[in-house]
Chains A and B, each alone.
Chain A
């Protein structure tokens, strides 16, 4: 149980286009999901906290107009990278906390590798 999927697993797009990444909790409902970004050979940095039915909370330095997060249901959160540029190329990982679970029960998706050319 407690499986989180991400789609796509990798994507290549041209500069200036937008890309949507989906994060789904497959066998549980998640009121809270997190989005992380990991540059090559670096650590995971939290971008935003996504709460179902409300606006996402962005970490300092993350452009909310560039990285649009929508947590439309208890099993789906989406991250849209708008007007992507090569510097947005990164590994994006989501995680989810099962509804009603204690806050430390966080399950990670397999990640999405974004390359912007």
Chain B
């Protein structure tokens, strides 16, 4: 069975501070994908990143960066110089890599509030 744990339920930081959202996962699959999604108050999921289990390189996209560590089964997400527009609920998710095993397992989400 697959499981995704986001231990941080809510985080509040002052604008321009850096913030890291934690994600720990469990899976028996040898090949899998990890995702981060942003859900603003409108409810629509916004795709942020997808990472293959074979690719442990960290990734940076603007103010966003992701740290994938297979040894600790973690896929953490850092926002640098946070902005009010970053306020949202962030979900980490996991899926298998094979056809028929592609359903997503979501973590419980972290509600991020950026204080102006």
Contact = CB atoms under 8 A, between A and B. Distances in A.
Contacts of A49: 103
Interface string A92-110: 0101010000011010101
Contacts of A32: 102
A110 B43 contact: yes
A6 B100 CA distance: 24
Given A34-B104, A43-B109, A103 B99 contact: yes
Contacts of B101: 103
Contacts of A97: 102
Interface SS, B side: loop
Contact of B33 (A46, A91, A104, A108): A104
Contacts of A113: 43
Contact of A46 (B44, B47, B104): B104
A95 to B, nearest CB: 8
29 contacts: A32-B102, A34-B104, A41-B111, A42-B108, A42-B109, A43-B107, A43-B109, A44-B45, A44-B104, A46-B104, A46-B105, A91-B43, A93-B43, A93-B45, A95-B104, A97-B102, A103-B96, A103-B98, A103-B99, A103-B101, A104-B33, A104-B50, A104-B95, A106-B95, A106-B104, A108-B37, A110-B42, A110-B43, A111-B44
Interface of B: 33, 37, 42-45, 47, 50, 91, 95-109, 111
